[in-house]
Amino acid sequence: MYVTITDFMKEWRKEATLTQNILDGLTDDSLKQQVYQEGRNIGRIAWHLTISIPEYLAAFGLTIEKVKNAENVPTSAKDIAETFKRISVNAAKVIEEQWTDDSLKQIQVAFGRQESNASILMGLIKHIVHHRGQITVLMRQAGLKPFGVYGPPKEDWIHLGVENPPQ
C-alpha cells in the first residue's frame, strides 16, 4: 500500500514505462488481433486502458482533462502509444499537484466499497497491468515479440544462459 505520494509515483512511473514499452511494440496491423470474434481486439484494449486513466482519476475527485473523441479507437498504434504517454505523464502531474500524503488516507466509495485513496490508486495500476497482460498474449497471437515486462520473453532467455524448456 502507498503511504506517500512519492511511493505511488515510483510505482506509477515504473508501470507506465513498462506499459509504454508494450504499446510502442504494437503495429497498426496487430491492433486487429483478438482472441475470439466477439472479443475486444488489441486496439480496443490498448485504447481502453489509455482513456480509462483520466476517467478513473476524475471519478475519484481529481481534476484532469479527459481524452477527446475517446469513443473512437485509433487505427494507428503510434497514436495510441503517444496518447498513453501524454496521459500517463499528465496523470502523475495531476496526482502530485492535487493529492498529498494525507489524501492517500482519505476514504471514498469505490465500486461499492469503502476504499482509501491509496487503494484506489493501487486499483488503477492493477487495471493497467491486467489489460497490459491481455495485450501481451494477443501480441504473441499477432506474431509480435512482446517486450519483457517482469522478465524477458522466451526469445531473450538465451542471453541469460537459460534454455527454452521443451514444449
CATH number for 5-160: choose from 1.25.10.10, 1.20.120.450, 1.10.10.10, 3.40.50.300.
Answer: 1.20.120.450
What pLDDT digit, counting tens, does each position of 103-131 carry?
999 999 988 899 999 999 999 999 999 99
Domain residue ranges in the chain: 5-160
Question: What was the pLDDT predicted at 166?
Answer: 67
- The model carries a pTM of 0.92
pLDDT tens for each residue of 144-161: 988 888 888 877 777 777
Tell me the pLDDT of the chain averaged across its residues. 94
Q: Closest by alpha carbon to 128, among 49, 23, 52, 20?
A: 49
